[in-house]
């Protein structure tokens, strides 16, 4: 059982990745962002997830530096993720994008670097660059984001290094059961972005009913469901009380019945783009 905010899953290459982290999608550069990252680290978060396209890596880096100081911990105690954007998906351009992200973050290395979207005809070259970064010891782990089973199979046909992580949209309306099973079978850790469906699930009657049974919020019940499904989760918030509340999910466990009930809420409904049909 995942029983603390510092609990980790071991990726297939032996690297420890926290089960729980802070996402900063759509959080703009500025004091609010810096403070959110700092506050999360202060309250025990050990994983921060950003991306080049979020255009906020500099603020995230500042928040990390301030957070490490406040928490009195070392850089090595933190797990930092960023992602290469679609326009940079070539061999040389991916290598350059990695260096740009590092520079903006003010870090010497990343713990995890992901291909953000499976752009057809481009992700294999980018993956070769990811493997190069990994083999040179510049990044601790590499992975993908928004890859469906067929994208993964296509990549695995040629990859020398298997992706360690696949970060996808996942929540009770999009449970990703087949993808989760495939990733498990391949030793790829599934990670959920938009675990709270960008807030759309918070007034769901069924989830409210389950939450009241445990004396928890709907958000807490969904995040607990992620963990019990073996899915790494990175809820986004900029408010201190919410950052703390989101992470208060280690003192209860959902019953098998409630897990099944939540798994059955699936409607294959996305709030984000469809990985098989996007044009950016």
Tens-binned pLDDT, residue by residue, of the chain (280 aa) = 789 999 999 999 999 999 999 999 989 999 999 999 999 999 999 999 999 999 999 999 999 999 999 999 999 999 999 999 999 999 999 999 999 999 999 999 999 999 999 999 999 999 999 999 999 999 999 999 999 999 999 999 999 999 999 999 999 999 999 999 999 999 999 999 999 999 999 999 999 999 999 999 999 999 999 999 999 999 999 999 999 999 999 999 999 999 999 999 999 999 999 999 999 9
Q: Is residue 130 part of a domain?
A: yes
CB-side neighbour CA atoms (13 Å) of 26 = 7
Q: Is residue 278 part of a domain?
A: no
Q: Is residue 60 part of a domain?
A: yes
What CA–CA distance (Å, rounded) separates 218 from 204? 8
Q: Is residue 151 part of a domain?
A: yes
The total number of structural domains in the chain stands at: 1
Contacts 24+ apart (CB under 8 A), 221-225: 221/254, 221/258, 221/262, 222/171, 222/172, 222/195, 222/196, 222/262, 223/20, 223/195, 223/196, 223/249, 224/249, 224/252, 224/253, 224/254, 225/172, 225/254, 225/259, 225/262
Q: Is residue 123 part of a domain?
A: yes
Domain boundaries, position 115: 8-263
Rg (CA), the chain: 18
What CA–CA distance (Å, rounded) separates 144 from 146? 7
Catalytic residue among 45, 54, 123, 134: 54
Q: What is the CATH number of the domain that holds 116?
A: 3.20.20.100
Respond yes or no: is residue 45 known to be catalytic: no
């Amino acid at each position: 059982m995942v029983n603390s905010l510092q609990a980790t899953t071991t990726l297939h290459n032996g690297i420890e990745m926290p089960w729980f982290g802070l996402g900063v999608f759509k959080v703009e550069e500025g004091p609010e962002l810096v403070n959110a990252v700092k506050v999360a680290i202060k309250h025990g978060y050990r994983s921060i997830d950003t991306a080049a396209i979020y255009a906020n890596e500099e603020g995230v880096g500042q928040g990390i530096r301030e957070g490490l100081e406040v928490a009195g911990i070392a850089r090595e105690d933190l797990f930092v993720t960023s992602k290469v954007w679609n326009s940079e998906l070539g061999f040389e351009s991916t290598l350059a994008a990695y260096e740009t992200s590092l520079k903006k973050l003010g870090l010497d290395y990343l713990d995890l670097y992901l291909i953000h979207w499976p752009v057809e005809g481009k992700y294999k070259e980018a993956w070769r660059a990811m493997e190069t970064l990994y083999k040179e010891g510049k990044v601790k782990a590499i992975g993908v984001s928004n890859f469906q089973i067929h994208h993964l199979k296509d990549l695995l046909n040629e990859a020398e290094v298997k992706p360690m992580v696949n970060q996808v949209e996942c929540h009770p309306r999009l449970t990703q059961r087949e993808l989760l099973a495939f990733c498990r079978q391949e030793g790829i850790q599934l990670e959920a972005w938009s675990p709270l469906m960008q807030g759309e699930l918070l007034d769901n009657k069924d989830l409210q009913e389950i939450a009241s049974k445990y004396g928890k919020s709907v958000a807490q019940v969904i995040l607990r469901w992620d963990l019990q499904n073996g899915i790494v989760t990175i809820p986004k918030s900029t408010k201190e009380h919410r950052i703390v509340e989101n992470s208060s999910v280690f003192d209860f466990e959902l019953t098998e019945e409630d897990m099944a009930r939540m798994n059955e809420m699936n409607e294959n409904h996305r709030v984000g783009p469809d990985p098989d049909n996007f044009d950016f």
